[in-house]
Amino acid sequence: MSFFEVKEISKRFGGLMAVGGVSFQVERGEIFGLIGPNGSGKTTIFNLINQYFPLTAGDIFFKDESIKGLKTYKICHLGIGRTFQVVKPLKRMTVLENVVASAFCRVNTFKEAQNLALEMLDFCNLLPDKDKFASSLPIAGRKRLEITRALATKPELLLLDETAAGLNTAELDEAIELIQRIRARGVTIIIVEHIMKVIMTISDRIHAINYGETIAEGTPEEVANDKEVIKAYLGEESYA
């Protein structure tokens, strides 16, 4: 059986079908990319996995068990972590406190939480900033904090939502390197991304959607050359 499966999921908002009958499977240890133009439903899919929005139809399986209808915090406990596209730092807390808070998901004492938090901060190269207020970090730091926080909950599956948006070239390279190191630790990753360079470089497989529906799936090369994908992205940044 597959590690993570999304089966015919749909989400309807009033009259609008934001996501319509999308299915894919993710293997353990993969980096699975999800691409699509603006508004195609990528973040909605994450929100459905996270149970942030209830499913209109379909089902989602994690390690062969359905997670449909579970509360968001339960999903985290089961081992699925996520970052948000519009980052949500806990502003009036320091970077360290942000990560300690999420570390409490797995441990119960402050000492243990702090140790886990420091370990994660070190892994993500945020240790020098640990005592700064989260609100004072620049965008690259905040995105990195999102990831660090999610990592502190010791996820087996990590959902990364547009972690590269707004970063400059150097920051992009750092982000890519971080994601690869995360995978090397054994975390499976589903990444939603807009920026071709990132997603084509690191993904093992890619699933492309447009208007809430699947248009292609395969290796980065296959997807980049797929006619439908090119059509959907016509006029956008092309993979060079």
Partner 1 sequence: MKRKQVIPAIIAAFFILFPLIVKSDYYQHLVILALMWVVIGGSWNLLAGYTGQVSFGHAVFFGIGAYTAGILTTKVGISAWWGMAFGGFTGALVGLLIGWICFRLRGPYFALATIAAGEIFRLIATNWESLTDGMVGILIIQSFRSKLPYYYLALALAVASIWVFDLVMKSKLGFYFVSIREDQDAAESLGINATLYKNISLLISSFFTGMAGAFYMNYMAFIDPEVVFSLHYISIMAILVGIIGGVATIWGPAVGAFIMIGIQETFRSALFGLAPKWVSQSHVLVFGLLVIFVILFMANGVVGDWPKIKRLFVRNR
40 makes contact with partner 1 (CB under 8 A): no
133 binds partner 1 (CB under 8 A): no
CB of 201 to partner 1, least distance (A): 26
Number of chain residues interacting with partner 1 (CB under 8 A): 29
Does 82 engage in binding with partner 1 (CB under 8 A)?
Answer: yes
Nearest Cα residue to 230 out of 203, 210, 204, 205: 210
Q: 62: which strand partners? A: 4, 65
Report the residue number, 44 or 50, with the smaller CB distance to partner 1: 50
Q: 218 has which bridge partners?
A: 206
Side by side, the strands of the sheet bearing 4-13 are 16-26, 4-13, 57-62, 65-66
User: Minimum distance from CB of 37 to partner 1 (Å)?
Assistant: 25
Residue 113 makes contact with partner 1 by CB under 8 A: yes
Binding of partner 1 by 66 (CB under 8 A): no
Tell me the DSSP string of 50-118.
Answer: TTSS--SEEEEEETTEE-TT--HHHHHHHTEEE--SS----TTSBHHHHHHHHHTTT--SHHHHHHHHH
Contacting residue, 8, 54, 69, 91, with partner 1 by CB under 8 A: 91
CA distance 61 to 51: 12
Give the interface segment with partner 1, choosing from 98-106, 163-171, 201-209, 213-221 (CB under 8 A).
98-106
Residues that bind partner 1 (CB under 8 A): 50, 52, 71-73, 76-77, 81-82, 84, 88-93, 97, 100-102, 104-105, 108-110, 113, 149-150, 153
